[in-house]
Structure 1
């Protein structure tokens, strides 16, 4: 494992700054993992230029179970990819050192070759333990990213990562094939999907098309289901080059790629804090209780809503303080609780089920949830004030950011897609496209 400090300062200069290629941010975590970021397991991972290049590129191809193939597999210092065609036939592709690239590996495994350990994201659950899911669908060695060590520092993604023996094995059942130029290629069990946004990652961004990336970095249309053995059609006009705002889905977690240039233009946590203070300085009031409302500190942590917490009727957007009137029988039993339910910096106010209320301002009925500011600045497409809230979770962000994420079909399970809140990964719902404009009442004095 390395850190940027390894490459930082020479003895003659104290101003050398490590080159950052970009960052990977896991969707569903509002600034940090529920139990805190630790080591290689965290909500975001920065890719820095390494002190020495560790990239690899394909070289010699060995066919069948030849002594050379067996030697390539058993050599701990030799990277290789093995394609099992049958019980008696295997193709082994040796990889050699590439002095022009740095390689970073992502997966569920905690073994040393993995730079960024990613576990399954549980939508809306910000109190789940660090223990990986027993039924995890994320590959132990899910994918690898190669970054050019010279400008423009292009990052390219490939399915599968090398294990502790520097091998990648594609078994008999894995989708694999021989390419027209005689090389081998294949897909991993649940696949690595990538979507590049149109118009970059900005307020003009639009969703792109989800594609699958092969072990050799080729681009394909999606399979019928994630683990189908029949590959999609090759899309020769598209690339495995990551752009600012590219989404990477590992079947259990989705990652957002932000380039160093994109992050330099993005709002910072300091900017979001200034916007929070600006909202609170306007002293918004509950239109019924007339008490002043205030968004809690971004650093406060995962707690239950406090007494000044703004709450919203998601059907209409009217913002109130917490109250327990207006309860309606919805489904089974009374919907209102005597005290505010738990929420948090990352978790939002739950799924809204069982908390439907009638707004005292306009009589609209719908979920009534606490509001939480979206703290992960990398998810924002602009630096505008937080004026809109996702439903049913109550995470607040700018209008353009809410509109962008509400249009993104994120992979869910093995064959479905739905829009979700980037801050907590809950599936969006509601009649207004999954988000609502907030209507605050200012002070009466």
Structure 2
């Protein structure tokens, strides 16, 4: 029995409220060289000890010297007239914007700067919001970024040594704002605040004034979101990809990722994240899982139990008659002697053999000795990232052509989701390694042979 003092101590150390988790597609449980600090394959969002959310407050319109003179431009009640003689000689628009931004920053305020032209800038000042927590995602390793995300390279090239010549992920890509009170609603916004607590939308960025008067805009390559139909369950279906604005409105997609013309406002949709929502940052795609949704997701222990159950059934190679076994999760990238291999055109599972080639040019095209079907012949890997499973079913299906194995309904769900690729293409990809899927159905049912004895 605990003494009262111990009970009080346990209450003080209880786990904080979890809002949800972000899981990066293309990583099977961890980054190739391990998760480190803020750079990892998944990121949990917990209720902060103290709220750090912000909300828009004051709007400042900065114009040319003449307009400033006529309008009597002000900042927090102070005249800006002295700027006209000291700062307008070279580039008055940028100088005044810099001054105002610096003044806001010196007060510790967040702000968003919309540069409309060389002659006019609108700066929206943000104030503290005690009811929300803010989390920021981007490529930058600066302190405002809570979750550092880099470009995902599909398949076996996915390692830290792979050089990205020019990343398409924004340094301050997006922010997620969560209500601190139940039901802990999470909303996504394009762009994140930098180390100076500012968001800058330059002259070339897509931006506009809405009918109600508030400014809004899009980031260079955009933040796309897809909410699945029916949540993230066995019955889920893909939704429609949309673009999220800096202020959280929902728009149809632009013609290309960086086109200056925005899509159409979708008034009946919101930026509220649902369990299973996908967030694309043009170079990496994230899956949002709610805390409640994760409670109904298979755990690592469950996936390990499924692996042991398959191995305990002692599947055999129908030709060599040797027993096959999936390697342990901590050796999920090393091909082992007992590793199961499969012909992905038919699904027959074998042990490794070095025959059946149909040509010298297509090294991976083999003829299955069981049914004579010709197709890719690859090692099978268990899908270890539990967050990608829509159910807790046994691993019976493999994605083609990578050979990652998961439950039937999980495989069929991901097989029909068009994921953004480049600036305007979409294609289905394996969630465990980001390889573009192929074949008639993008996945295949595996045919194991049990022990003859």
Taking structure 2 as the reference length, the TM-score comes to 0.89
SS in 2 for 1:440: coil
Matched, 1:260 2:265: no
Aligned to 2:443: 435
Matched, 1:102 2:143: no
Aligned to 1:312: 342
Decide whether aligned partners of structure 1 residues 317 and 129 sit closer, same or farther in structure 2, where only a CA change above 3 A counts. same
Which of these two proteins has the greater Rg computed from alpha carbons?
Answer: 2
Aligned to 1:394: 403
Residue 359 of structure 1, aligned match among 358, 363, 368: 368
SS in 1 for 2:395: coil
Residues 105-138 of structure 1, C-alpha deviation per residue, up to 9 Å, x if partnerless?
0000000000000000001135521677231000
Decide whether aligned partners of structure 1 residues 47 and 10 sit closer, same or farther in structure 2, where only a CA change above 3 A counts. farther
SS in 2 for 1:404: helix
Aligned to 2:28: 30
Offset of residue 13 of structure 1:
2.5
The whole-number CA distance in structure 2 between the counterparts of 1:290 and 1:438 is: 17
Task: Figure out how many residues of one structure are paired with residues of the other and give that number.
Answer: 414
Offset of residue 301 of structure 1:
4.6
Residues 270-296 of structure 1, C-alpha deviation per residue, up to 9 Å, x if partnerless?
000000000001000000000000000
Structure 2 unaligned segments of length 5 or more: list them. Answer: 1-6, 64-72, 76-96
Aligned to 1:284: 315
Aligned to 2:155: 124
Tell me if the contact between 1:34 and 1:127 (Cα under 8 Å) persists in the aligned partners: yes
The whole-number CA distance in structure 2 between the counterparts of 1:103 and 1:126 is: 33
The whole-number CA distance in structure 1 between the counterparts of 2:156 and 2:338 is: 24
Tell me if the contact between 2:332 and 2:382 (Cα under 8 Å) persists in the aligned partners: no
Aligned to 2:419: 410
| Structure 1 vs Structure 2 CA RMSD | 1.5
Residues 186-241 of structure 1, C-alpha deviation per residue, up to 9 Å, x if partnerless?
00000000000000000000000000000000000000000000000000000100
Matched, 1:372 2:381: yes
The whole-number CA distance in structure 2 between the counterparts of 1:285 and 1:130 is: 37
Aligned to 1:349: none
Structure 1 unaligned segments of length 5 or more: list them. Answer: 1-8, 336-353
SS in 2 for 1:95: strand
Decide whether aligned partners of structure 1 residues 262 and 72 sit closer, same or farther in structure 2, where only a CA change above 3 A counts. farther
Residue 134 of structure 1, aligned match among 162, 165, 168: 165
The whole-number CA distance in structure 2 between the counterparts of 1:267 and 1:258 is: 13
Offset of residue 328 of structure 1:
1.3
Offset of residue 88 of structure 1:
1.2
The whole-number CA distance in structure 2 between the counterparts of 1:127 and 1:209 is: 28
Decide whether aligned partners of structure 1 residues 364 and 401 sit closer, same or farther in structure 2, where only a CA change above 3 A counts. same
Correspondences of 1:37-436 after superposition (within 5 Å): 37-65=35-63, 66=73, 68=75, 72-74=100-102, 75-76=105-106, 77-125=108-156, 127-129=158-160, 133-303=164-334, 305-329=335-359, 332=361, 335=362, 354-431=363-440, 433-436=441-444
SS in 2 for 1:280: helix
Decide whether aligned partners of structure 1 residues 209 and 364 sit closer, same or farther in structure 2, where only a CA change above 3 A counts. same
Tell me if the contact between 2:358 and 2:366 (Cα under 8 Å) persists in the aligned partners: yes
The whole-number CA distance in structure 2 between the counterparts of 1:302 and 1:255 is: 22
Aligned to 1:351: none
The whole-number CA distance in structure 2 between the counterparts of 1:130 and 1:102 is: 35
The whole-number CA distance in structure 1 between the counterparts of 2:409 and 2:309 is: 19
Aligned to 1:20: 18
Decide whether aligned partners of structure 1 residues 61 and 131 sit closer, same or farther in structure 2, where only a CA change above 3 A counts. farther
Taking structure 1 as the reference length, the TM-score comes to 0.91
The whole-number CA distance in structure 2 between the counterparts of 1:237 and 1:96 is: 28
The whole-number CA distance in structure 2 between the counterparts of 1:360 and 1:23 is: 44
Instruction: Decide which structure has greater helix share.
Output: 2
Decide whether aligned partners of structure 1 residues 363 and 132 sit closer, same or farther in structure 2, where only a CA change above 3 A counts. closer
Tell me if the contact between 1:35 and 1:130 (Cα under 8 Å) persists in the aligned partners: no
Offset of residue 71 of structure 1:
5.2
Q: After alignment, is 75-84 or 270-279 more displaced?
A: 75-84
